[in-house]
Every structure is written in structure tokens, then in C-alpha cells.
Amino acid sequence: MQEKIVITEQNIEEMCRLAEDVMQVLYMEYFFYDEEGNERLLSELEKEKREAIYNDPYAYLLYHLFRRGDKIEDVRYYSQKEIIPWVEPILHKALMLFRKGTGEYGETNYIVADRVSDNYLVAVFTREVRNMMMIFAGQILTKESSSRY
């Protein structure tokens, strides 16, 4: 394990990368997109890995949250207060990843300084959740547009 770079609220770019890393560890490690843009599970040939998302409550929660079918116009305006109840079961895990940089399924390149508040980290994490929801809402919009033409 490599030495982690400690960052504070002043390191905006690195904080955004850390939030992406946290999301990667909690959720994205399971997926990839094929040449046609279809979402696929990693290691589709291995049954236990294919089922991993259904056995991991963190990935399962995020998987369903991102696929709720929300419209991009709605997602754009979701506030932190709206998102927190949806991700509350995994906030402790996200905070641990921000602070320690390691998790069961991966690790981050950065960690936050001890003085960075949990409230700040929750705000950063919910922003990343909203960003992911925007990506999936955009995919729905693209599919709807292409089916019309």
C-alpha cells in the first residue's frame, strides 16, 4: 500500500478526485461499459463475482439509487438534504474511506486531514452521488431521444 497524500478543504481538485475514488470503491468496481455503451458486470463469467453486487449492501443501494429513473431536470436540483436520507446507510463507510483511504474492495490515493469535518465530507460525497445520478439520468435521456428518431 502506497503512502496516502493528506488533503484539506483547500485542495478542491484533490477533494473531487478523492470523492470519485470513494465512489469507485463503494460502487463502480463492479461495472464496465462495452463497445456499444451497455453496462456490464466485471467478470461476467464468474458467478460469484456476478452476484457480488447483490451481496454488497453498499453497491446494491447505489445501484438502485442511480437507476431510479429520475429525470435529468429533477436530479440537477437535488439538494444535499434530499440525498442524505437515500445514502444514510452507507455514509459511515464513505466517511471511513475519506479518512482512512482503504476499504474492503479498494483504496484511494488521498485521505483527508483530521481537521476536515464530517459535515464537509458528507457534502462532498452527496455531490458525487448527485453527479453519478446525473450520469445515469443522462443515459435515460439519450435512450429516450434515440428511440424517438
Residue-level pLDDT at 77: 94
What DSSP state is assigned to residue 56? -
Q: Give pLDDT tens digits for 75-122.
A: 999 999 999 999 999 899 899 989 988 866 678 889 999 999 999 999
Q: Quickly tell me which residue has 434515440 as its cell.
A: 146
Domain-by-domain residue ranges, the chain?
5-144
**pTM for the structure as a whole:** 0.77
Residue 31 and residue 27: Cα distance in Å, rounded? 8
Residue 124 and residue 18: Cα distance in Å, rounded? 9
Residue 97: strand, helix, or coil: helix
Residue 92 and residue 137: Cα distance in Å, rounded? 26
Q: Give pLDDT tens digits for 14-61.
A: 999 999 988 888 876 555 555 665 656 655 545 565 566 667 777 778
